[in-house]
Amino acid sequence: MTRIASTAPRLFVPDPLSEGSETLLSPAQAHYLRDVMRMNVGDAVRLFNGRDGMWLASIAALGKSKGALGVESLIAPQRPEPEIWLLFAPLKAQRQDMLVEKAVELGVSVLQPVLTQRTQTRRINAERLEAQVIEAAEQCERLTLPEVRPLAELSGVLGAWEPSRRLFYGDETGNGAAALAAFSAPRGVGGDALLVGPEGGFSPQELDVLAAASFSSGVGLGPRILRAETAALAALALWQAVRGDGARLPGH
Ligand code: SAH
């Protein structure tokens, strides 16, 4: 990877990427490259679309609210990424921003906001969430975007759960297994998911349902009561280290 390629800004584009292809910039992307990054025609940009790997491109045209990029060469081929879902209760603005950005950086593949009995923030700004996810994915150089699912009741999500997928839920009441031990257990066939509750925690009824389900296990993340965003981050980092790509070195 040449130096220029490793410092050029990274953009997510929906279009197919191949040598000689061209992709148009959105108004926001044109503004970012022209006015924020002060770039000009001919400058290098890195592109990914979640399917074709990361490509080196150069700016072919750049105006105030539009532009075009010429795709030149493959920088990094698409590679399989661990499949780990995160179910989370919507949180107050800054805390949710932190949870979403860290979840993307830590490689989550599906973000599923869930309404639980004690959830205080009962709505999600889907457009804002999508934009946050793209920005975090561009920054952390992952080659995919996590799928962002619509806000749903936890009871409905559990009712429709595919039992081959293991659901590890953060249990701060001390009835769970230590997360490291739980993540070190033999893997199921259907991938894994993590669930953290809202500021007020899960209700007793929710904990009963989660404890009774065949597909779910409570996990403890140490003796302290963590903020939901901390619990999500800690659980994801631990999961990646034990079951995911946490052992892969940057650039590999
Ligand atoms: N009931 C807590 C608040 C919940 S913290 C209180 O008494 O203040 C928000 C969520 O983070 C919890 O629902 C749980 O999923 C997770 N969490 C917090 N601390 C945790 C811990 N030590 N182990 C596992 N999960 C934890």
Q: Tell me the CATH number at 228.
A: 3.40.1280.10
Q: Are 241 and 161 found together in one domain?
A: yes
pTM assigned to the model: 0.93
Atom 25, ligand 1: residue with shortest CA distance: 170
Q: Are 108 and 221 found together in one domain?
A: yes
Q: Are 115 and 217 found together in one domain?
A: yes
Say if CB 73 and CB 55 are below 8 A apart. Answer: yes
Mutation to probe ligand 1, out of 98, 172, 209 (largest number of atoms < 8 A from CB): 172
For residue 249, name the pLDDT band (cuts at 50, 70, 90). confident
Cα–ligand 1 centroid distance for 232 (angstroms): 10
H-assigned helices in 78-120: 93-105
Closest CA relative to residue 15, chosen from 68, 90, 82:
68
Q: Are 21 and 141 found together in one domain?
A: no
Q: Under DSSP, is residue 68 helix (H, G, I), strand (E, B) or coil?
A: strand
- The pLDDT value given to residue 4: 54
The domain boundary residue, chosen from 45, 76, 107: 76
Q: What's the CA gap between 211 and 209, in Å, rounded?
A: 5
Q: Which atom of ligand 1 is nearest to the CA of 218?
A: 24
The per-residue pLDDT for range 206-229, each reduced to its tens digit, is: 999 999 999 999 999 999 999 999
The domain boundary residue, chosen from 76, 100, 126: 76
Cα–ligand 1 centroid distance for 226 (angstroms): 5
The per-residue pLDDT for range 115-161, each reduced to its tens digit, is: 999 999 999 999 999 999 999 999 999 999 999 999 999 999 999 99
For residue 61, the domain's CATH number is: 2.40.240.20
Q: Are 161 and 193 found together in one domain?
A: yes
Q: Find the residues whose C-beta lies inside 6 A of ligand 1.
A: 170-172, 196-197, 201-202, 220-222, 224-226, 228, 231
The per-residue pLDDT for range 161-189, each reduced to its tens digit, is: 999 999 999 999 989 899 999 999 988 88
- The pLDDT value given to residue 5: 61
Cα–ligand 1 centroid distance for 97 (angstroms): 18
Q: Are 95 and 69 found together in one domain?
A: no
Q: Are 115 and 185 found together in one domain?
A: yes
Counted residue by residue, the chain has a size of: 252
Q: Under DSSP, is residue 195 helix (H, G, I), strand (E, B) or coil?
A: strand
pLDDT for residue 3 is more than 60: no
Q: Which atom of ligand 1 is nearest to the CA of 202?
A: 13
Q: What is the DSSP letter of 246?
A: T
Q: Are 64 and 164 found together in one domain?
A: no
The per-residue pLDDT for range 63-104, each reduced to its tens digit, is: 999 999 999 999 999 998 999 999 999 999 999 999 999 999
Q: Are 56 and 113 found together in one domain?
A: no
pLDDT for residue 2 is more than 50: no
Cα–ligand 1 centroid distance for 63 (angstroms): 49
Q: Are 45 and 139 found together in one domain?
A: no
- The pLDDT value given to residue 116: 97
Residues 6+ apart with CB under 8 A from 31: 64, 65
Cα–ligand 1 centroid distance for 131 (angstroms): 27
Q: In terms of residue numbers, what domain contains 43?
A: 5-76
Mutation to probe ligand 1, out of 88, 99, 203, 225 (largest number of atoms < 8 A from CB): 225
pLDDT for residue 1 is more than 50: no
Q: Are 11 and 127 found together in one domain?
A: no
User: Domain count of the chain?
Assistant: 2
The domain boundary residue, chosen from 76, 100, 130: 76
Q: Are 106 and 48 found together in one domain?
A: no
Atom 14, ligand 1: residue with shortest CA distance: 170
Backbone torsion region of residue 123, taken as left when φ is above 0, otherwise alpha when ψ lies between -120 and 50, otherwise beta = beta
Which single residue is written with the structure tokens 């259907």?
A: 190
